[in-house]
Amino acid sequence: MNNSVGIEGLNCPNCAKALEGELAKIDGVKNLKIDFIHSKITFESENFQDSVNKIIEITKKVEPNATIIVEHNKKKFNKNLIIDIITLIIGAGIGCCALFVPLPIWAFWVLFVLSALILGYKTYYKAIILLFKGIINENLLLTISVVGASSIGQNMEGLMVIFLYSIGKIFEGLAIDKSRKSIENLTNLQPEYATIIVDGKEEKVKPEQVTLGSTIVVKPGERVALDGIVMEGKASLNTQSLTGESRPAIIQKGDKILSGTIVLDSVLSIKTTSVYENSTISKIMNLIENATEKKSKTETLISKITRWYTLGVIIIAFVVFGIVWLVENNFNTALYRGLIFLVVSCPCAFAISVPLSYFSGLGNASRQGILIKGSNYLDACAKIDTVAFDKTGTLTTGIFSVNKIISFDKNKTEEDIIYLASLGEQHSLHPLAKSILALNKQKLKKVQNVKEIPGEGIQFEFQEKKYFVGRRNNNVKNTMVELFENDVKIGEIILNDTIKENSFEACNSLKNMNIETIMLSGDSKEIANNVGTQVGVQKIMAELLPQDKYQFIENYKEKNPKKIIGYVGDGLNDAPSLMLADVGISMGINGSPASIEASDIVLVDDNPNKVAQAVKISKKTRKIVWENIIISAGIKVTFLLLGTLGITGMPLAVFADVGVTLLAVLNSMRALYYNPQKSK
């Protein structure tokens, strides 16, 4: 069965990977993964307690600074930070006594060694433990540097290395914890409880315990636990956590309400339309948690490089040592500069900042109501050249109102036309079907030989007559459903669809970013041109069947192999196109489960303008990722050259390591607070 525990004090992605490798070897534990961003370990095990005991035992050996928290949802006091600060003060005090107080040689070495051990015992311990397991990382680089500096008489330099490194790690840990908490605050939408009515009394239970069709009560200030329909009450809703929209929304009896929103000023009685695991909030949390598993090429490349990076650094450091020795003819000078090379070259800045930047971007997007399923999709979204929109339910509301009913059979009334059409439409998921069914007032009987004809309609038999409800005539100016009885048209139902308020803004924003917009519609040319012209798409294609939309995307990719196309849709028939497109974007509220599953990005509130916002966040995040890579590499290369030439010493080398890492972590957090709505 699936289990999880929390882990605190683990602030190094490379260390997390090494620990993950060791924990994965535990007997009886399968599919173990360490989620560095969420500070969580997930695994499968039949015996939870036994597995946790083994996880704790191995973690203590490999990562003594890390702590396993079984109830990881509860906030714990960070005692490791206090211990590290106290240890740093004590170690630094003893080191100052050794270096600046006149002492006998034996007393100096006792205090010096004691200071070095207190300041860096965790670093040395991890270096030795992992070395015996065949793992070489930055802990070994620091250990070699401290021992090497001391061995050539650079005692102060040796202590300064481990002292500055320890300070840097404390600040680095604080910065990472800050970014983690910021991300968690943005994405922690999970309600703690639901209030249900049992025998006329209110009872608080876990959301997972609420059954389908139950009545829940939500009071002012409480978060809605499950999706449902408002049965009683009218209230203002805070939907910002789901949609990014700061203005309250008004909801009343008969309206749909999504889990995760907060009721502001009244009591609502809600009939649940889903169990918790199928609710909006549960799906969002799953998408956010699983987003770290789908990594971008940049993130994957950095991860692969860092596996062999440290070993390569040690080899190059020996080369530097050899060259300097030959040139300077001084062993101590050569060794010192080789040690500087080791310190500067620690890969922490790359290993931490790149995944943190991507997850900050993903967390920011989720705050805006944009769920991106992984950093690979975020990367692809940043490169989009063309966006193809489905029309109905995407650029338009998909909520149709019947404008006119025409009967061509004098023996059939308008009510008869609606009833016969409803007999077929009850088997359809199309938005038009819902509008027609809403008008029917009679109890629907069973029909025979039902067959859906993609892109056309429903064929069925009733009372020994053959019927077809759908559309065979595309040369019309209105949205229309035709009804045929034994191949004779007996009625027409004319409907109106409304354009979403933000569709024009969506197309205009994309156009301003030099992204081409296309509308793919199954409606007639007249209807499609009318909608397309109003929203401002650059290219309009009409009278398309679902397979035609798929074919369009396929042809586009063949003709433009270097371009990236995104497809935005909401229906079941959009699923193939969503999967084929380089970036599939689906609607979250009215989108079908198949389209949401097939897509790479989900727009929680069905707002098409979020497509442009997703592109902006993706571009900003990629920019920050490359800023971190270029700045970190630039500073490190500069200090490597300066150290090799003897211009800088070890203290500045430590700054080039932990200082650059801290700078990169802070820069990564810019992706978390970037506002796409304020940028042009």
pLDDT reading at 155 higher than 90: no
> Apex CA 474: angle with CA 468 and CA 480, to 5°?
60
Q: Please check whether residues 93 and 169 belong to one and the same domain.
A: yes
Among candidate residues 5, 112, 126, 10, the one with its CA nearest the CA of residue 62 = 126
In DSSP terms, 404 is beta-bridged to 494
- Residue 614 domain-assigned (yes or no): no
Highest mean pLDDT (candidates 124-133, 165-174, 245-254, 400-409): 400-409
Amino acid at 267: V
Per residue in 459-480, pLDDT (tens digit) is: 999 999 999 999 887 666 667 8
Q: Please check whether residues 46 and 113 belong to one and the same domain.
A: no
Report the CATH number at residue 272.
2.70.150.10
Comparison of pLDDT for 156 and 1, the residue scoring more: 156
DSSP secondary structure letter of residue 462: E
pLDDT reading at 132 higher than 70: yes
Q: Please check whether residues 505 and 551 belong to one and the same domain.
A: yes
Question: Where does a domain end: 44, 76, 108?
Answer: 76
Per residue in 223-272, pLDDT (tens digit) is: 898 889 999 998 888 876 666 566 678 888 888 888 888 888 889 999 99
DSSP secondary structure letter of residue 619: H
Q: Please check whether residues 393 and 508 belong to one and the same domain.
A: yes
Are 41 and 7 spatial neighbours (Cβ–Cβ below 8 Å)?
Answer: yes
- Residue 261 domain-assigned (yes or no): yes
Are 370 and 610 spatial neighbours (Cβ–Cβ below 8 Å)?
Answer: yes
Amino acid at 497: D
- Residue 489 domain-assigned (yes or no): yes
Report the CATH number at residue 44.
3.30.70.100
pLDDT reading at 73 higher than 50: no
Question: Considering the chain, what is the average pLDDT of its residues?
Answer: 84
Per residue in 367-387, pLDDT (tens digit) is: 888 888 888 899 999 999 999
Question: Where does a domain end: 442, 465, 496?
Answer: 496
- Domain that residue 527 falls in: 375-397+500-599
Domain count, the chain: 5
What per-residue confidence (pLDDT) applies to 292?
56
- Residue 607 domain-assigned (yes or no): no
- Residue 153 domain-assigned (yes or no): yes
Q: Please check whether residues 173 and 317 belong to one and the same domain.
A: yes
Q: Please check whether residues 112 and 160 belong to one and the same domain.
A: yes
Q: Please check whether residues 162 and 308 belong to one and the same domain.
A: yes
CB-count exposure of residue 362 (10 Å: 0-12, 13-18, 19+): buried
Q: Quickly state the pLDDT bin for 420 (edges 50, 70, 90).
A: very high
Q: Please check whether residues 43 and 94 belong to one and the same domain.
A: no
What distance in Å separates the CA atoms of residue 248 and residue 266, rounded to the nearest whole number? 13
Instruction: For residues 582-609, give the mean pLDDT.
Output: 85
Using a pLDDT cut of 90, give the percent of the chain over it: 25
Q: How far is CA 209 from CA 189, 206, 277, in A?
A: 18, 5, 10
CB-count exposure of residue 368 (10 Å: 0-12, 13-18, 19+): buried
Q: Which of 8-17, 51-60, 141-150, 576-585 has the lowest mean pLDDT?
A: 8-17
Give the count of beta carbons closer than 10 Å to the beta carbon of residue 507: 26
Comparison of pLDDT for 541 and 660, the residue scoring more: 541
Q: Quickly state the pLDDT bin for 672 (edges 50, 70, 90).
A: confident
Are 256 and 211 spatial neighbours (Cβ–Cβ below 8 Å)?
Answer: no
Q: Please check whether residues 383 and 508 belong to one and the same domain.
A: yes
Instruction: For residues 433-441, give the mean pLDDT.
Output: 87
What per-residue confidence (pLDDT) applies to 189?
65
- Residue 369 domain-assigned (yes or no): no
Per residue in 474-512, pLDDT (tens digit) is: 666 667 899 999 999 999 998 877 888 899 999 999 999
From the candidates 35, 390, 600, 657, give the one annotated as an active-site residue: 390
Q: Please check whether residues 237 and 304 belong to one and the same domain.
A: no
Question: Where does a domain end: 76, 92, 115?
Answer: 76
| Torsional class of 68: left (φ above 0), alpha (ψ -120 to 50), beta (otherwise) | beta
Q: Please check whether residues 388 and 522 belong to one and the same domain.
A: yes
Per residue in 206-223, pLDDT (tens digit) is: 888 888 888 899 999 888
Task: Give 27's contacts (C-beta < 8 A, 6+ positions apart).
Answer: none
Among candidate residues 90, 126, 131, the one with its CA nearest the CA of residue 111 = 90
Per residue in 87-100, pLDDT (tens digit) is: 889 999 998 998 88
390 flagged as catalytic = yes
What per-residue confidence (pLDDT) applies to 557?
92
Q: Please check whether residues 406 and 436 belong to one and the same domain.
A: yes
What distance in Å separates the CA atoms of residue 507 and residue 14, rounded to the nearest whole number? 43
- Residue 368 domain-assigned (yes or no): no
- Residue 505 domain-assigned (yes or no): yes
What per-residue confidence (pLDDT) applies to 72?
47
